[in-house]
Structure 1
Amino acid sequence: MPPKKSIQLDDFDLAILDQLQINNRTSLQEIGQSVNLSAAAVQRRVRRMEDARVIQSNAAIVDPASVGRPITIIVEVQVDSEHADLMDSARSEFAAAPEVQQCYYVTGAADFILVLTVSTMEEYEQLSRRLFLENKNVRHFNTFVAMNRVKAGLRVPLSRT
């Protein structure tokens, strides 16, 4: 992954980003009309934001239940040792698991918070064995099973402060 370049975002950039977060398939012409820029100017700005990694990815948001993964699980993980090599190993292992949708290194009682999606509790049992029970650096993990998906998204609120 190339290093992130620092760029200044203006009101046009923020308006473009806001529209792309709602629907990244909106045409450059439509975006241009709504923000009062030409399609070519919008394209240049989008490319600049992609190069600077402000826009990190263009992806479809999939309903997990629709593809046979109806269970969302949140896991707090505490580790025994915070030595750099052990923490890097845990980060890598958690990030490599396709069932892990999100992984955060956090402050507080837990060291990591993971959001997982699985098809069955049996799958979660196998996953927890692999990721947590067999990992000698995991001291404790606490599991929360989501009863209902109230809101899920990655949209970042954009405004000038």
Structure 2
Amino acid sequence: MHIGMKIYYDLHTGNVILNTGERSGDVVQTTREQDFEVYSSLAERIPETVGMLELDYGAYAADRAEGGMITRIDLETMEPLFTYPDPVDPEAPQEPRPALSKQVEALEQETLLLKAQSGALSERADFVEDVIAEMAVQVYE
């Protein structure tokens, strides 16, 4: 059995309180109430002030492999925000941002759109050049 991670976060700030991590093998899915009993970081909180985001097993694996840590939840989109270690200064604090994998996806989509637009503009320019050449031939005849 594979169980994805649960991210518990402060409902007012989005800051992560607890990441349960992924589990596999002979494991059992726990309830929110059980987690509040088992984890001290949750037990000391008022349950109504804590949100929970459940992720599928393997979600954001590439981001985590790159050293990304979920540190906040975007309260508008309900997407996890990551911090990644700075290769130059690993100790420097980082501002949470969307997952790099999501940013790459968005850039790939934008690249496809830009390529299509560029192709259409190129075809239009070729057409305009052909029209101008035909007009020039007729003017000089």
Tell me the TM-score normalized by structure 1: 0.28
Q: Higher relative contact order by CA 8 Å / sep ≥ 6: 1 or 2?
A: 1
Tell me the TM-score normalized by structure 2: 0.31
